[in-house]
Structure 1
Amino acid sequence: MIEAILAAVTATPTPTPTVDPNLVTPGPVGFVIVAVIVVFAALLIWDMQRRIRRVRYREEVRAELDAEEAAHGDDAGEGERDAPRS
């Protein structure tokens, strides 16, 4: 019982660091790599937004053309409607 109390009261030694903290930092090379990844991700997001916007505009134009076609009641254009649009 007394041994358990003495073991709890005595201070535990702290380990000494074996690695220099300055050697494990990323440094300039790590900064450059992270900066390149961030720039690449930003360009990828910008391109994705541009492509999504383009698809959305095409779909809006198709909907407007279909609405105009339906409003005019043009039956002659039915054959053209079945053909895929690009």
Structure 2
Amino acid sequence: MRVWAAMAAGFVGLAGCAMPPEGVSPEDLNDYKTAVASIGCEMVTEADYLPVELQAGLTREQSTAITAYLLTAGEAERLENGGVKLKTGACA
């Protein structure tokens, strides 16, 4: 389902100034980016988000907030299929 990408898009307005989400540490961001890279840098369905959340030790809310933050910060981009692709670090 593309629900998670849509939820992340909803958080973009909240992350308008590109500040890391409240309650998310720099380590959480790094763990998230590492986990996303391990699944091929793209997240489209729940099957993509679940391993990222498990590997990074994040809740769904944290992972959606981080996704929205990275979209706002220009470190991720929306895909035509409704997903999100990380475009920095190991995913550059």
Give the TM-score normalised by the residue count of structure 1: 0.22
Structure ranking higher in strand proportion = 2
Give the TM-score normalised by the residue count of structure 2: 0.21
Greater relative CO, 1 or 2 (CA 8 Å, sep 6+): 2
